[in-house]
Structure 1
């Protein structure tokens, strides 16, 4: 079935193959290899740490920096539709980081990496077509499912192979005593909830982590797969659909994904409306969520503490409510910023300033000027995912999930740009030599919306 799924991964798209330069196939292979590296470098380093030499945090930072450099190189060498807007964003992010570093009087490479991740992988995505991305996603999903099944079936074998505990102690500075030391000793610290599993509680299984080494990222990965499905459903063959849907359900259960279930429900409800609603509708998701959570807190409907989803939301609201002027303008020290890392929006505001936080949200929603049905579905699904993740975690900035999501974003914009024609600095249509007095030529995708 997997072979059939791979062969039917996507319908042919002649526009994506037209006028491709001779070096394009090499760059596509290079881009796909970079995506694999972004997905697998942590588990590879964990194996090295367990069986060869000790790995420290500097090595992880260096490898992640290398992956981002490779992504940037691929996109800047290819320079396909939309690459200018991502390059402008990249330059602006670096300048903003330098300014905030002067304010803090310290250089924090982690914050630069957070800012550069998105344009880097969006540029990489401009090298790829939708077919290549779906095939890559299918292969990655099968590999992740296989490793998750191994981890659940024989946790001691998985722990002995990768020794996740030692990897996170060496690279993240987490105390070994905080890790679970039950039957699956050597796994991540929260593979067992204090109150047990929510899904199939009587099974006695730990929470799977697969190639991500920790369950939160595995849950987020299932949302990445869902975003691709709701965006490209009409372009994916039935066998690939069935494989991705069934394996995604398995992974949600495997990681006991509380957030994954809530977010999937929100996406499946929100995307059909957003596809036909106003183009700017996704902008309201985050402010409405913030207002709703503060209202629930004021009414004492969000409980304090406890390992529950509502408790995590309450903690995120409390973090946001405690921000001070220095936090809002990015003047806090890095130690204070990491103390609020459990709340994604507090972390993002403190590390990138309120202006960076707003720029990030506007980027997610407004970077796609092209009004295609695929981009509408993608923007709505991604905005729901980011908005729901912000109160409880900053994992939406993890390279493991940013890489495929924004590679797809860059790909979809590049495809839309080619159907419209040449573009200016920020992706706006430009004249293509039409005689004076006549309107510039635009592609059919733009003409369908009145040239807007």
Structure 2
């Protein structure tokens, strides 16, 4: 007779799951869509309202996640002191830099404090269903969808898009809502790329990859295949070539994680950063194409365009660097800040071997995502990702055993307690 999945994970099936963390995660997923609906049908919004929603979500996550352990408070004190030092050394007050890096800290701590993989599972399933339902609504009834959610009008209202940059070709959709060339995934679906609750298709594809990675690492979760299917559907609806490639590479990373030392993953983004810098300085290529090779060329150009002051986060200039997470991160918190944050992520202690596997998959996702975007800092997708990471690190469940052996599977935490 097999044990329930919750018992196999080292969890008490009778333990009630907290509701408020789930509400926060769904709120982080959908608040932009709610504001878009208000802006389209009720009243105009502005960037202050958007920032206010994010502040409430992050503050609530910190309040629930900090607890009584002194280490998180020390971490926050060091980070805020470092950010204050950077802002004092450059004539610029930029709260966005603080906000960007508080999001992963807040939701990681929230996940670790909850310490319940069932909650992360449920958040993944519910989020996946919401994303797919609204993605299908947009894809199958676009005219009705934009009647309630005028996406480009919302981005103009919040100051993300200038009115002069609005294109008549994409109508009420975001600029990337239509594929200018042929669709890569299922070409017969046409050029439309579903934005779903994220209001732009890039985040939809990224979120699909996150759901896939979680389901890949959770063979015992309830509704595992539904979660994975929701992730793949989001990738197809948004025609996310990046999301599809991440699924493939993350699967390879999952398989090799047990045999790769921690130092490899510590060094990975910095090796890539050095490689891009060298490529940017020596390459004579000037023709940019809308593919992965073109994105690598562009991120190399952005990295090599940074001044020495910008590399260390001391430049008062804020050029558009959103197409490269590497360049954006350096410009925001400097090389030493990036090294510090990445080291904290890699060396944050996990309590089970499978948590390390998940961390390797997340590291793979981040390293690849920062080639093409700074959306690793977007709360729309980052909240659930970092909550999953904290939940995974905090869980001491046993390594999943084959179904036939689960009745006698050893308890990892008990085996290592002595």
Q: 1:284 aligns with which of 264, 267, 280?
A: 267
CA deviations over 1:390-433 (Å, ceiling 9, x no partner): 121110111112211111222223223x99xxxxxxxxxxxxxx
d(CA) in 2 for partners of 1:89, 1:447: 31
d(CA) in 1 for partners of 2:327, 2:90: 17
Quote the offset at 1:92 in angstroms.
Answer: 1.7
Aligned to 2:76: 90
d(CA) in 1 for partners of 2:195, 2:97: 25
Q: State whether structure 2 residue 57 is matched by structure 1 residue 67.
A: yes
Q: State whether structure 2 residue 384 is matched by structure 1 residue 399.
A: no
Aligned to 2:330: 349
Gap regions ≥5 residues in structure 1:
1-7, 420-442
Query: Equivalent residue of 2:176, what SS?
Result: coil
d(CA) in 2 for partners of 1:265, 1:15: 30
Query: Equivalent residue of 2:177, what SS?
Result: coil
Distance 1:236 1:53, change over 3 A: same
Quote the offset at 1:245 in angstroms.
Answer: 2.1
Distance 1:9 1:338, change over 3 A: farther
Q: 2:302 aligns with which of 319, 334, 349?
A: 319
Q: 2:6 aligns with which of 3, 8, 11?
A: 11
Gap regions ≥5 residues in structure 2:
399-410
Aligned to 1:39: 29
Aligned to 1:377: 357
Aligned to 1:363: 344
For residues 403-418 of structure 1, what are the structure 2 equivalents within 5 Å?
403-416=383-396
Q: 2:125 aligns with which of 120, 126, 138?
A: 138
Deviates more, 1:53-62 or 1:191-200: 191-200
Aligned partners of 1:207 and 1:254 also within 8 Å: yes
Query: Equivalent residue of 1:106, what SS?
Result: coil
Aligned to 1:436: none
Q: 1:264 aligns with which of 247, 254, 268?
A: 247
Aligned to 1:102: 88
Q: State whether structure 2 residue 29 is matched by structure 1 residue 48.
A: no
Quote the offset at 1:181 in angstroms.
Answer: 2.9
Q: 1:121 aligns with which of 107, 114, 135?
A: 107
d(CA) in 2 for partners of 1:152, 1:225: 20
d(CA) in 2 for partners of 1:224, 1:170: 29
Aligned to 1:160: 147
Q: TM-score, normalised by structure 1?
A: 0.82
Query: Equivalent residue of 2:322, what SS?
Result: coil
Aligned partners of 2:90 and 2:315 also within 8 Å: yes
Q: State whether structure 2 residue 238 is matched by structure 1 residue 220.
A: no
Quote the offset at 1:295 in angstroms.
Answer: 6.1
d(CA) in 1 for partners of 2:357, 2:246: 15
Distance 1:153 1:348, change over 3 A: same
CA deviations over 1:327-385 (Å, ceiling 9, x no partner): 0221112xx33422221111111110111111122122111x23522211111101111
Q: TM-score, normalised by structure 2?
A: 0.88
Quote the offset at 1:13 in angstroms.
Answer: 5.7
Distance 1:10 1:137, change over 3 A: farther
Aligned partners of 1:9 and 1:134 also within 8 Å: no
Distance 1:181 1:281, change over 3 A: same
Aligned to 2:20: 30
d(CA) in 1 for partners of 2:22, 2:61: 10
Q: 1:339 aligns with which of 306, 320, 325?
A: 320
d(CA) in 1 for partners of 2:217, 2:281: 37
Aligned partners of 1:302 and 1:311 also within 8 Å: no
Quote the offset at 1:226 in angstroms.
Answer: 1.9
d(CA) in 2 for partners of 1:299, 1:338: 23
Aligned partners of 1:87 and 1:119 also within 8 Å: no
Distance 1:276 1:14, change over 3 A: closer
d(CA) in 2 for partners of 1:138, 1:191: 25
Aligned to 1:310: 293
d(CA) in 2 for partners of 1:258, 1:202: 16
Count of paired positions: 403
Distance 1:266 1:353, change over 3 A: same
Aligned partners of 2:324 and 2:370 also within 8 Å: yes
d(CA) in 2 for partners of 1:342, 1:69: 28
